[in-house]
Amino acid sequence: MMFLVAAVALFVTMVLILVRLYAGPIVYDRVLAVNSFGTATVLFIAVLGFLTGRPDFLDIALLYALINFVGTIAVLKFFRYRALGDIPQMPAHPGEER
């Protein structure tokens, strides 16, 4: 019962965040929305595991948390340097590139 409350609340939150994801307006709003959506999804998967009585879902939630963080950082790195591998002229301290 209480997990049903949490699942509905998380679902509403995810819909609200999706509206912000669509509305933007700047690209960092969208990245932030994707990150929050990921956190909500992790909790939603965990709650679903409790709701359906299958604790194996927690492993999926843990994995999703890892992927969500790495994905956010990768997207931000791509926006900043337009590359994902080694960056030849990566500044030792941000700000020295200019």
Partner 1 sequence: MDIPALIVEILSWASIVVGSFLMIVSGIGMLRFPDFWSRTHAASVGDSGGMILLILGMCLQSGLTLITVKLIIMGIFLIITGPTATHAVANAALVTGWRPKTAADLEPETGVPYSDLPEPTVRGQ
Question: Residue numbers of the site for partner 1 (CB under 8 A)?
Answer: 2-3, 5-6, 8-10, 12-17, 19-20, 24-26, 28-29, 31-33, 35-36, 39-40, 42-43, 46-47, 50, 55, 58-59, 61-62, 65-66, 69, 72-73, 76, 79-80, 94-95
Q: Which residue has the tokens 């990150």?
A: 35
Please compute, for residue 58, the number of CA atoms within 13 A of its CA located in the half-sphere on the CB side: 4
Residue 6 beta carbon to partner 1: minimum distance, rounded to whole angstroms? 5
Residue 63 beta carbon to partner 1: minimum distance, rounded to whole angstroms? 10
Decide whether 67 or 86 has the Cβ nearer to partner 1: 67
- State the virtual CA torsion across 59, 60, 66, 69 in degrees, nearest 10: -140
Residue 35 Cα distances to 13, 38, 69, 96, angstroms: 13, 5, 8, 28
